[in-house]
Structures are given as C-alpha cells and as structure tokens.
Amino acid sequence: MKPPCRFCIIPSMEMDESRTARESEKRPWHILIILLISLMPATANTFLYSFVLLSTAKEWGVTPFWAAIIGFMPMAVQPVGGLIFGSLSDRYGRRNALLLTILLSAVSAVLSGISLGPVDFGAYRLVLGMVIGGQWAVTMTLVSEIWPAAERGRAVGIVQTGFPVGFIYASLIAFWAGTGSGWRPLLMLGGLPALLAAPLAYFTLRESSLWIVDASQREARSASYREIFRPDLVKYTLLGTIIVFIGAFGAWSLNPWIPAYLGVLGIPSERIPLFTFWIMIGALTGYTLYGFISDKLGRKLTLRLFFIGMTVGLASFGLVPSRNWFMGDAGHPVVLTVFLGAAATFFLGYFSGYGSLLAELFPTRVRSRGLGFCYTIGSIGSAIGPACTGFISSRVGIGNTFIIVSGIFLIGAAVVSLLPETKGKRL
C-alpha cells in the first residue's frame, strides 16, 4: 500500500495506542510555534480592517455601518471553509490542508490591497473567511492529535494565541505605518507572516501519525459529514456549534469596534493603534494561560469561568469609560480605560478551549470534520457580531452596546454545563 503522502512514513498496521502515546511524549514544541505563525496572516488581515474601516468608507462613499458589512459579513462563509478544508484534511492530510490555507491567506491580503471597489474587496474577504474557518479546524486537529492528553489544553492554547498575536501585529503595523500611508498597503502587510509560515510548515511539519494509521486503513476516506450527526455524536455537534457561535458573536461584537470606541471616548486617532496594542496584550495573556488552567481545572469549569468573566469584563469596559463621572474634569483617564479593555479581552482566552474540547468529542476519522463544522458554523457569529454592534450603537452608543452584548456569555456558561468533561481523554 502506498503512503498517503511522500513526507509521511506509514506506521506498521500493528501500531497500538501505547506506541502512539510514546511518540506523543516527545512534545515537539517547535510545531506549536509554526502553527501559531501559520494563523497570523489570516488573523492580522482580519483585524487590520478595524483600523481602516473609516478610510474605506470614505473612499467608497458609504457609511461606517455599510463598510463594516462589506468587510466583516463575508466572514460568514467560514462554514464553507470549515467544511471544505475539514474534508480535505481528513482525506488528504492535516499538513497539506494547512499549507493551502497559508497560501490563500497571503493571496487574500494582497488582493484586498489592490481591490478596485467594495464588490471585489468583499469577494477577497470571502476567501479570507473560508481560510480562517478551514485553518482553525486543521491546526486544532493537528495539535490535538500529536500532543499528550495531560497537556493538550496548554498546547492548543499556545497555538490559539495566533489570534491575539495576529491582532497585536496588526496594531503595531497600523501604529508604525499609520493610516496616512493608505489602507491598501496596510492590508497587504497583513499577509507578510505567510512568507515565514509557508516554508516553515513545508519543510518542518510532519503528518499526524493518527491520521496516517487511519488513512492506511481507508477509514478516513470512507467517512462523511453525516457521521457527525449520528446518534452518539449529534448532541456534541449541536452543542459545540452553539458554544462557538456565542463566543464568536460576543468576541466580534467587541474586537472590530475597539478602535472606534477609543475614538468616541476622545483618544487621539494617532494613539489609538498603540492603545489597542496594549488592550490586546490582555487577550494574548488570556489565550496563553487558558490552556494551563483547563489542564488543571478541566474543560467545562474553565470555559464557564471565562464566559462569566467575559460578561463582567465586557460590561465594565462598556459602562465605566463611557460615563461622564468617570472622565471628570481632568480629561479621559487613558490608563484605566486600557486596563479595563485588557481585562475584558483577557477572557477572550476561551477561544483556546475550543480546540481541545471539540477535538476530544470526535473520533479521529471525522475529527477535522467535527471541529470544522462546529467552529465554522458557529463562527457565523463573527460576521453577525460586528454588524449588530454597528446597528445597535447607532442608537444607544458603543459602550451601551457592549453592556447589552455581554449578557450572551451567561447563556454560553449555561450551555457548557450540558457537555461531558473530556480532560485527560486519549485520542
């Protein structure tokens, strides 16, 4: 039987669970860094649009609300990307699917920068949306399959920091280059990390041994999306999708509007990218620590704690800085505002829990499909969230909108309790 890819060596058909476990104990830390960098082109390009939203609105002659629709609603195609790349990953391997997503994320960034108008710009954002949905499913599946069960949560969390690291990179690019250089070069710079990620992934990543065994037995090739809806898995599929939707909706009701909110509060426009950078340090901290906490406390308790923390943090960030009694006669207290923003984004670390939790719910042959479906269908919330904030804030203000949105995380905390505890589960 021929190997599934020329970079992989098919293990003996007698490979058992103990051998797989021994291989996992090697803890290839460099893989986590490569996967983290692989996420950056897509995440940076997504967040960079927050800094150029007003510039594109002016150039296209539309309102900021419609500019948000054009730039963020295409992210609703994440389910398409999750289904496509999840299927490719289960059929042709995690590594090959990942390489394709890195390439497409760079292409999307470049094309966005040379777009002619809102129509083709929206089309390039469609590609970006598909890439994000597929890339998350592939990376989370790969790291979950190669890491020991006892430390899987922290490994997934480290890879997941590719999102806040991408946001931080975007903030620094916006601060150093400035919107004065034009929004087109900024968006193109968002794809720059792909120049590092692509060769690293191509030359250093090896295929998951679990997938190799599965492919050699032709199990992965015969699997279909129908399997994630079979009686023993459908509950996990539906609950996982709902939890991801709640998290995506809440996060993207906040993230794209942070620069605009800081502007409304009176912070000078040239300083907004720098203060956004410090706020996103909170997200980086939360993403990094989440995995260590979940490996200690368990998947369910940690996710509930972060959802509840997000309720308090987001409501506080929306309530306190927007009130006159907080600003006072001395002007706006920037340090405290940035602290409150960082406290809110810290609890966005719950995204680090999705990978390990969902990976532990599905069997190997449909794991990428399961993760891809839950994450990408749920991530429709990331397209709806920015538009909802834009719509509601036009009536009650951005701060009050954050307070309203914060309540959705209490619903999420209740839904999490319906899932089983999977801490320590061997894949």
Neighbours of 414 (CB within 10 A): 11
Domain range for 310:
28-416
CA atoms within 13 A on the CB side of 382: 27
Q: How confident is the model at residue 348 (pLDDT cuts 50, 70, 90)?
A: very high
| 202 in any annotated domain | yes
Query: Predicted confidence band at 385 (pLDDT cuts at 50, 70, 90)?
Result: confident
8 occurs within a structural domain:
no
Q: What is the DSSP string of 237-259?
A: HHHHHHHHHHHHHHHHHHGGGHH
Structure confidence by residue, pLDDT tens digits, 10-62? 333 344 444 444 344 556 778 888 888 888 888 888 888 888 877 888 888 88
Amino acid at site 34: I
Q: How far apart are CA 284 and CA 282, in angstroms?
A: 5
> The dihedral of CA 95, 286, 354, 76: what is its sign?
negative
311/410 Cα distance (integer angstroms): 7
Cβ–Cβ under 8 Å, residues 235 and 300: no
Average pLDDT of the chain, as a whole number: 81
Please indicate, yes or no, if residue 22 is contained in any of the structural domains: no
Question: Is there a contact between 255 and 249 (Cβ–Cβ < 8 Å)?
Answer: no
Rg of the chain over CA atoms, in angstroms?
21
Annotate 348-414 with DSSP letters as a single string.
GGGHHHHHHHHHTTS-GGGHHHHHHHHHHHHTHHHHHHHHHHHHHHHHH-HHHHHHHHHTHHHHHHH
Q: Is residue 268 situated within a structural domain? A: yes
Residue 247 lies in a domain: yes
How many Cβ atoms from other residues are within 10 Å of residue 30's Cβ? 11
Q: What is the pLDDT of residue 326?
A: 60
Average pLDDT on 156-169 reads 84
In order, the DSSP letters of 171-219 are HHHHHHH-GGG-HHHHHHHTTTTHHHHHHHHHHH----HHHHHHHHTTH
Lowest mean pLDDT among 8-22, 211-225, 301-315, 412-426: 8-22
Structure tokens at 391: 């719509």
Q: Which of 252, 417, 236 is nearest to 351 (CA)?
A: 252
**Confidence (pTM):** 0.69
Nearest to 65 by CA among 389, 426, 302, 317: 389
Distance, CA of 420 to CA of 192 (rounded, Å): 40
Distances (CA, A) of 237 to 80, 234, 245, 382: 16, 5, 12, 19
CB-CB contact of 297 with 154 (8 Å): no
Say if 14 falls within a structural domain.
no
pLDDT of 217: 58
What would the mean pLDDT of 371-390 be, rounded to a whole number? Answer: 81
Q: How big is the CA angle at 113 (ends 70 and 53), to the nearest 5 degrees?
A: 40
Distance separating alpha carbons of residues 257 and 401, to the nearest angstrom: 11
pLDDT of res. 252: 85
Question: In angstroms, rounded to a whole number, what is the distance separating the alpha carbons of residues 421 and 305?
Answer: 15
β strands within 230-292, DSSP E = none
Within its chain, how far is the Cα of 173 from the centroid? 20
Q: What is the CATH number of the domain that holds 191?
A: 1.20.1250.20
Asked if the structure places residue 321 within a domain, the reply is: yes
In a domain, 3, yes or no: no
**Alpha helices, DSSP H, located in 265-360:** 272-297, 299-319, 324-327, 334-346, 351-359
Could you tell me which of 87, 85, 98 has the C-alpha nearest to residue 202?
A: 98
Most confident range (mean pLDDT) of 33-42, 89-98, 293-302, 303-312 is 303-312
CB atoms within 10 A of CB 19: 13
Question: 261 and 398 in contact (C-beta within 8 Å)?
Answer: yes
- Smallest CA-to-CA distance from 64 within 341, 264, 320 is with 264
Closest CA to 376 of 93, 194, 131, 112: 131
> What pLDDT is recorded for position 30?
80
Q: Total structural domains in the chain? A: 1
**What's the rounded mean pLDDT across residues 198-209?**
83
What's residue 246's pLDDT? 94
